[in-house]
Amino acid sequence: MDASISVPPLFPPLQPYRSGMLPVDELHTLYWEECGNPDGVPVLFLHGGPGGGITAIHRQFFDPAYYRIVLFDQRGSGKSTPLGEIRDNSTPLLIADIEVLRRMLDIKQWLLFGGSWGATLALAYGQAHPQACLGFVLRGIFLCTQAEIDWFLYGMRTIFPEAHEAFIDEIPEHERTDLLHAYARRLFGDDTELATRTARNWSRYEGSCLFLRPQKETIDACGSDAIALGIGRLEAHYFLHQGFMAQDQLISGIDRIRHLPAVIVQGRYDAVCPPVSAYRLHQAWPQAKMHIIEDAGHAAMEPGTTAALVAATEQFRRQQAFD
């Protein structure tokens, strides 16, 4: 576990050379894009949330001269439609979507890159389809256990009490012993205005806790309907179903991907996904390299974390050159 990593900053901004909308069933259509080198080594970026969506800066973790960079918005997220839709939305279906995308793009194998829920999905996909994976770059580990869900709903108040107070402010006191179902009743009820306001509260709560030093612009962005409807509705939906996985499924399935190269990047002061989960994953998977970033929280865009993630993609590039 080493945080002393020296690397260049993010790669310069770039535009997709190809993008589209991919229908995956009668309800959901996914936005996808490709950038970088069309003949390069494929890498799949998996965004967080669930419901977070991709942004332009996510393209910049990868050397565009070397990588064929694939990004997509998961069901109910970003530019995918319908936004915030929880019907026919589950981890097995997301895994199936990734395979549909891989086959459509005629990719045999790709590197998986994901943070937070993106790391969860990368592990779940990898364990379902190890033959399609070249390796993993994982940040801010979330194993989707009940303990982690409870931490998000209750434990974060020990570090961010003001944010938690705002999170529960509109929930009557007698409902606060079961915040998840209290939120679900409002998020998934018939009152559209209430559902939107509740989703905004959920998303702002998470946004308030992402950085070691909270960023006002991030909190404000998390309050926008475009982000809040995906984050608030889908995170609650997935939490209600424990991520549609068996308890500790991602730990018990490590043997299926143990042979593949992996890097774990974890902020020491990550309040959203505390380091204990990354530590548990590394204990089960000691072959993976783990970097603890001593001056970072949960967000990918904190300097030490960003540097470590770019270093991981560059390390993979160098290793591939000698294989």
Axis-axis angle for helices 91-104, 117-128 (nearest 10) = 70
Q: Are 122 and 138 in contact (CB under 8 A)?
A: yes
Residue 91, phi-psi category: left (phi > 0), alpha (psi -120 to 50), beta (remainder)? alpha
Distance from C-alpha of 127 to C-alpha of 7, rounded to nearest angstrom: 30
Which residues does residue 262 pair with via DSSP β-bridges, in sequence order?
A: 136
- In contact, 198 and 183? CB cutoff 8 Å: yes
Burial of 13 (0-12, 13-18, 19+ CB in 10 A): exposed
Non-local (6+) Cβ contacts of 94 within 8 A are: 74, 75, 121, 125
Out of 77, 90, 116, 208, the active site residue is 116
Residue 135, sorted as left (phi over 0), alpha (psi -120 to 50) or beta, turns out to be left
Is 106 an active-site residue?
Answer: no
How does DSSP classify residue 110?
Answer: E
- What is Dmax (Cα atoms) for the chain? 61
Active-site position among 28, 237, 270, 277 = 270
Work out the number of other CB atoms within 10 angstroms of the CB of residue 162: 10
CA 204 to chain CA mean position, Å = 17
CB contact set of 155 (below 8 Å; sequence gap of 6+):
none
Residues carrying an active site annotation: 116, 270, 298
